[in-house]
Amino acid sequence: MSEDRVKPTEAQLKARRSRSIAIAVALAVFVILVYLGTLTKLGPAVFDRAM
């Protein structure tokens, strides 16, 4: 069965690595922006939760 597996070429591995890095960076930027945006919009009220 092992001969049925697809072996990625050098170009495919390089492209996959480029996409993975871009996704990681985009996700990190998105998380930071949502964090900063939430703090800016809500301010101290972000901790003010009714029990």
Interaction between residue 31 and another protein (CB under 8 A): no
Interaction between residue 49 and another protein (CB under 8 A): no
Site for another protein in 6-25 (CB under 8 A): 6, 8-9, 11-12, 14-16, 18-19, 21-22
Query: Which position has the token pair 């990190």?
Result: 28
How is 1-51 classified by DSSP, letter by letter? -GGGSPPPPHHHHHHHHHHHHHHHHHHHHHHHHHHHHHHHHHGGGGG----
Interaction between residue 27 and another protein (CB under 8 A): no
Comparing CB distances to another protein, the nearer of 9 and 51 is 9
